[in-house]
Structure 1
């Protein structure tokens, strides 16, 4: 398959592949000198105030969040809790030269927020591209100017749109490789925003979860992150990756978290990768991870104190509404194999929490848009071994103690919370809602699935929507875990999964990369792009597969890839 090679941006000719790599690498190198490593070198190196770049996110028709981090002096590294307050001027303009500044103001970078600065800029025009920057106005770094970021507001809620296109990513583990997937997305001209579905950072200590041959680069701090300072340091390290910096500077993000932003297999009262005896109270650790996330990510804070909610919704004219979920904060503990499988069907257990489930179902069934898109951190399509007909096998499944629909592939996904999935599917089916598409991360592999009401009756029975799952940016997948060549051992497993779960139309267990997701008046489509080698910072990206679902059809089918030159926001 041909390598995808986007042309330089006509508006910003400096954003060629070579220029992007060179410029972002210089910025990242400067940031590292005052960030989480190289403290001895920092004493002899001029402090770069904006070593962690700029970012934007959560676009609405009249506003967007802009972000940066200021390093006021060599000692004020992320997580240090020290450093003077620095006033910062921010500017938003319609041109890159800032001849037409439309909004501006000041904010303070303080140790209380780890010297991060986040501004929700209001009073903007819908569907408009803006450029933004920050300038320090005091302290030892006074007068320094940040890199210029580019962002875009959402269309008006009543806008009549032909199409939208998004980059979709998940599972970017620093130690498992380089973020070339972000570089390829940053070089595209046809994206409205980037949707990040979780595992933006990983919590593990050095050497605990790398590539197949070990860690490609080392985490900071060296130990597993537990405290607020730890989470701040880890976020800061990821923000120095040149490809991530470039993507943040180019496009607004719409992001949610999964588990590794706090700890592996997290749930409301704990996590599989949390030991209270050695790592303290879970609520404290979770609160620390959430605080660092809200400080370091360009997401809008909804609520205050302990009532801050991450799940939220974005409207793009009459074409699409995106509901971003939080499936870690409110869920019950995952069911364990064996006797614990009986919990899978317990109607009292939840993955969303009751308030979020009510918000999700009411939003989907009442949405006036053509497409109802759900940013879904963990897989919702049933994946049983094998799927069973709940109407005819209840006596058998009760007797042998397995879930009513069959033994699940895993219980960390919606398969482990079948009552919640049934509530959601029943609401969609009961109201006759069509064009619901879940876009999903977490599982380090690629899937295209139909969503049957009863998997055992597919394809004869009804479906309530479709699901597209994107691969990991770097995190290990099947061939990495088995230490075998790609597209060898996994192929037979993929075919076996599809044979017993007929609603699963496509699987790739081996490839790393990203997705490009489009909704238009006729179709919703996901294109998968795969990296030549996630451990190579200059990895090529090739088109892997494309599946679409037609408006009103509720079934996926293979299709030709999207034309990257046919659309520009």
Structure 2
């Protein structure tokens, strides 16, 4: 909700109401760096509104997750210029230990497709200046969009150089984060067995205080802070924001006997998430839609909150129509939105893979790590049971609707699997290429989370090459898969085509790692097929 510019708000914004009744002022000796330790961020831009975020540390005891410290008034400003000589809107918001001293405000009254600058102030302490951009008007004839696409950023598996690579570009309209923004495990767990930099707190997170502290740790990473300050984000969660292989009633990484009530743990994780992330607080619902003129519409999915428990393929339950990945309400929302959309490109922020994928026979030393990476049971199986493959009724409902209504240009942007893919999504994978492709899927690499070469402790482009070749041979709609590299992707959207460029890091363990443009795939308007293009 935006803060109305009444007389009291304007007085506060000019510093005349600091020390209002019931509020504690920051000591004059505190520096801006001490007060605004966790940076600034913006998110979910609309044509006239964008959400702004920060976190303040008003006193030494007001540490994340502590539940300590005073309530304070934090002032915010949005300007048309970085010097703040043309302030467009401003106001004051109160925060305190009840929300872990995080600050969120919807800045309204803005102009579409416009770059703005924002900052926060607590007494004399001033935050870094953030840059954000509103979405185009819904009917604007937009000719180009450029998004960064990322997922799976495990603090202890490396440094977030992939975020730095995106921040250095200076040409992104939006960053799309597809889940696993953070990880719940203790130091050295899942599945690294070591820590480039250990998690804090030094245990698996279970409580509200724990999750708040883990969010705080991630937001001290300089590359993450830089990218948040440089461009608006839209994000969704996958499983690790709560616990590995989560479903509506539990998780693979949650033992009620030793870790308590699942509902309480999930509620704590979600409360911390909505406090610490630049998303609007809309109850417990995270799935939502962003429109970018007539060029693109982006539907961000939540595929953990409503799903049925994962099953093993050999049980045959993956085809049970009573089981759901998205939940009935969200699936209807998605189908209706795609069918009725008037945008040229229908983008879907998809936390887990939708392309049907059979696992080929492989040597056990390769198959074991591959199954671990994909969340499959150790004894094997022929589908990704934690993905849409494990919930075929939902996928069939969605694909049938796309085919029946002749919906074109649906592109699933996917994370989760710590690898890079470019796929057609056919009506019937067994008959492809005779069966038509109804959509396409582009999967970004992990920022840091372990890939096959990391799990096996072998050089890149050795063991994984065997798995990639076998998988493509068995799945003809998979045009490319790369299991070894970390990094980020950049999506360019125009009326005539959509293109994804994959950037791979030289070394995820180095904060200054270089990156190279490794692969590019294009989807031409109306084709529903991916094709490789020159990555130069």
Tell me the SS of whatever aligns to 1:427: helix
Once the two structures are superposed, residues 327-369 of structure 1 have per-residue CA deviations (whole angstroms, 9 ceiling, x without a partner) of: 000000001253x3x1101011000000000000000000000
Once the two structures are superposed, residues 478-519 of structure 1 have per-residue CA deviations (whole angstroms, 9 ceiling, x without a partner) of: 100111100011111101100110000001000000000111
Q: 2:276 corresponds to which residue?
A: 296
Give 2:223's match in structure 1, choosing from 243, 258, 261.
Answer: 243
Q: 1:521 corresponds to which residue?
A: 495
Once the two structures are superposed, residues 520-553 of structure 1 have per-residue CA deviations (whole angstroms, 9 ceiling, x without a partner) of: 1111111000000000111000011000110001
Q: 1:71 corresponds to which residue?
A: 57
Cα distance in 1, alignment partners of residues 136 and 515 from structure 2: 30
Q: 2:190 corresponds to which residue?
A: 209
Work out whether residues 321 and 373 of structure 1, in 8 Å CA contact, stay in contact via their aligned partners in 2: yes
Once the two structures are superposed, residues 293-333 of structure 1 have per-residue CA deviations (whole angstroms, 9 ceiling, x without a partner) of: 0000000122x3xxx20000000000000000000000000
Work out whether residues 490 and 510 of structure 1, in 8 Å CA contact, stay in contact via their aligned partners in 2: yes
Tell me the SS of whatever aligns to 1:48: helix
Cα distance in 2, alignment partners of residues 75 and 545 from structure 1: 48
Q: 1:312 corresponds to which residue?
A: 288
Q: 1:367 corresponds to which residue?
A: 341
Work out whether residues 193 and 254 of structure 1, in 8 Å CA contact, stay in contact via their aligned partners in 2: yes
Work out whether residues 176 and 209 of structure 1, in 8 Å CA contact, stay in contact via their aligned partners in 2: no
1:123-138 to structure 2, matched below 5 A, reads 123-136=109-122
Tell me the SS of whatever aligns to 2:439: strand
Q: 1:346 corresponds to which residue?
A: 320
Give 1:555's match in structure 2, choosing from 518, 529, 536.
Answer: 529
Cα distance in 2, alignment partners of residues 259 and 289 from structure 1: 11
Q: 1:113 corresponds to which residue?
A: 99
Give 2:465's match in structure 1, choosing from 480, 491, 498.
Answer: 491
Cα distance in 1, alignment partners of residues 188 and 288 from structure 2: 35
Work out whether residues 191 and 455 of structure 2, in 8 Å CA contact, stay in contact via their aligned partners in 1: no
Residues 504, 163 of structure 1: alpha-carbon distance in 2 compared, 3 angstrom cutoff: same
Aligned: 1:103 with 2:83? no
Q: 1:88 corresponds to which residue?
A: 74
**What is the TM-score with the length of structure 1 in the denominator?**
0.84
Give 1:468's match in structure 2, choosing from 439, 442, 465.
Answer: 442
Residues 385, 477 of structure 1: alpha-carbon distance in 2 compared, 3 angstrom cutoff: closer
Once the two structures are superposed, residues 198-239 of structure 1 have per-residue CA deviations (whole angstroms, 9 ceiling, x without a partner) of: 000000011113647x21001110110010000000000000
Q: 1:323 corresponds to which residue?
A: 299
1:144 deviates by 0.4
Cα distance in 1, alignment partners of residues 164 and 204 from structure 2: 28
Q: 1:52 corresponds to which residue?
A: 38
Q: 2:507 corresponds to which residue?
A: 533
Cα distance in 1, alignment partners of residues 269 and 320 from structure 2: 30
1:143-158 to structure 2, matched below 5 A, reads 143-158=124-139
Cα distance in 2, alignment partners of residues 335 and 123 from structure 1: 48
Aligned: 1:503 with 2:477? yes
Cα distance in 2, alignment partners of residues 296 and 517 from structure 1: 26
Aligned: 1:191 with 2:172? yes
1:143 deviates by 1.4
Q: In the comparison of the two structures, how many residue pairs are matched? A: 489
Cα distance in 2, alignment partners of residues 103 and 334 from structure 1: 48
Tell me the SS of whatever aligns to 1:187: helix
1:167 deviates by 0.2
Tell me the SS of whatever aligns to 1:60: coil
Work out whether residues 365 and 428 of structure 1, in 8 Å CA contact, stay in contact via their aligned partners in 2: yes
Cα distance in 2, alignment partners of residues 386 and 180 from structure 1: 33
Once the two structures are superposed, residues 450-474 of structure 1 have per-residue CA deviations (whole angstroms, 9 ceiling, x without a partner) of: 0001001101111110000001000
Identify unmatched segments of 5+ residues in structure 1: 1-43, 137-141, 388-405, 563-569
**What is the TM-score with the length of structure 2 in the denominator?**
0.90
Work out whether residues 188 and 195 of structure 2, in 8 Å CA contact, stay in contact via their aligned partners in 1: yes
Q: 1:253 corresponds to which residue?
A: 233
Cα distance in 2, alignment partners of residues 183 and 76 from structure 1: 29
Identify unmatched segments of 5+ residues in structure 2: 1-28, 362-379
Give RMSD over aligned pairs. Answer: 1.5
Work out whether residues 156 and 317 of structure 1, in 8 Å CA contact, stay in contact via their aligned partners in 2: yes
Give 2:386's match in structure 1, choosing from 407, 412, 420.
Answer: 412
Once the two structures are superposed, residues 221-275 of structure 1 have per-residue CA deviations (whole angstroms, 9 ceiling, x without a partner) of: 0110010000000000000000000000000000000000000000000000000
Give 2:48's match in structure 1, choosing from 62, 80, 89.
Answer: 62
Work out whether residues 313 and 381 of structure 2, in 8 Å CA contact, stay in contact via their aligned partners in 1: no
Tell me the SS of whatever aligns to 1:285: helix
Q: 2:6 corresponds to which residue?
A: none
Cα distance in 1, alignment partners of residues 427 and 387 from structure 2: 17
